[in-house]
């Protein structure tokens, strides 16, 4: 009897595994299959000394196969990013692993220090002209009608090689993601959209301070809808 029960359990397990692992071939209207929204966005210092911006706390997912309010939110985000005409039949098993983005876009980022940075940047003034935002996004791929891609092997920006945490931004199909790399004074809301879902981006300093090496930095992130996130961090420059 015990043997029959064990065999039955093994058969049920095998059937469930086959069911979960079975290939599916739906038509995807949008390239992005899942948007993610964390409870909070925080900043930390990486081992390389740069400032990482990433989601913290519990995460909420909005995907192509949701129903109800989650599906409504997903479709609204697809409309916002003009991701509506992908229309490709694609294979996946458990869930699609391409096209995963943050549900939060950045409009503007500013950084100030509590100390004089150099003669041109006294305490409390913007450092937007010496701090750059680095990330990736599929926005250019989508805006091109899902045609234009990026050759990372040939054209990978040098700054991407200076920070190991950048690797955590990538999922599948890296060629459909374009680099974001610009000074905060030059980069705009159109460029900081559809960011990676966990590590949203990294801040690099183009210059070192000329006097004090330890600075308490205030990072202000405008996420739209009259909302600004203000975070502080202490950074010790070499």
Phi, psi of 232 (to 5 degrees): -120, 150
Q: What is the pLDDT of residue 1?
A: 54
Q: How far apart are CA 174 and CA 46, in angstroms?
A: 23
**pLDDT truncated to tens, each residue of the chain (238 aa)?**
555 544 444 443 444 344 445 777 789 999 999 999 999 999 999 999 999 999 999 999 999 889 999 999 999 999 999 999 999 998 877 778 889 999 999 999 999 999 999 999 999 999 999 999 999 999 999 999 999 999 999 999 999 999 989 988 887 889 999 999 999 999 988 899 999 999 999 999 999 999 889 999 999 999 998 899 999 999 999 8
Q: What is the pLDDT of residue 23?
A: 72
Domain range summary for the chain, segments of one domain joined by +: 23-236
Q: Report the candidate in 114, 55, 119, 120 with the shortest Cα–Cα distance to residue 235.
A: 114
| Four-residue CA torsion sign, 89, 62, 72, 95 | positive
Contact 36, 100 (CB under 8 A): yes
Q: How far apart are CA 121 and CA 123, in angstroms?
A: 7
* Dihedral Cα 165, 168, 173, 174, nearest 10 deg: -10
Q: Report the candidate in 173, 166, 169 with the shortest Cα–Cα distance to residue 99.
A: 173
pTM assigned to the model: 0.87
- Cα–Cα distance list, 93 to 23, 24, 87, 102 (Å): 5, 6, 19, 22
Contact 130, 120 (CB under 8 A): no
Q: Which residues pair with 34 in a beta bridge?
A: 63, 100
């Amino acid at each position: 009897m015990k043997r029959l029960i064990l065999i039955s359990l093994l058969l049920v397990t095998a059937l469930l595994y086959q069911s979960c692992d079975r290939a599916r071939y739906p038509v995807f209207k949008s390239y992005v299959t899942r948007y993610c929204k964390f409870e909070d966005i925080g900043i930390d210092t990486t081992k390389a000394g740069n400032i990482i911006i990433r989601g913290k706390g519990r995460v909420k997912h909005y995907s192509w196969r949701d129903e109800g309010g989650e599906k409504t939110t997903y479709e609204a985000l697809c409309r916002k990013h003009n991701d509506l005409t992908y229309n490709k039949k694609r294979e996946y098993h458990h869930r699609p692993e391409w096209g995963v983005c943050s549900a939060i876009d950045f409009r503007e980022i500013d950084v100030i220090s509590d100390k004089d940075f150099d003669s041109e940047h006294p305490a409390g003034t913007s450092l937007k002209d010496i701090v750059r935002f680095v990330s990736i996004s599929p926005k250019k791929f989508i805006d091109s009608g899902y045609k234009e891609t990026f050759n990372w092997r040939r054209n990978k920006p040098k700054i991407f090689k200076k920070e190991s945490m950048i690797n955590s931004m990538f999922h599948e199909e890296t060629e459909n993601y374009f680099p974001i790399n610009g000074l905060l004074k030059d980069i705009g809301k159109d460029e900081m959209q559809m960011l990676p879902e966990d590590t949203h981006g990294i801040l690099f300093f183009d210059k070192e301070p000329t006097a004090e090496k330890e600075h308490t930095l205030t990072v202000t992130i405008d996420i739209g809808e009259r909302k600004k996130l203000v975070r502080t961090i202490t950074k010790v420059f070499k």
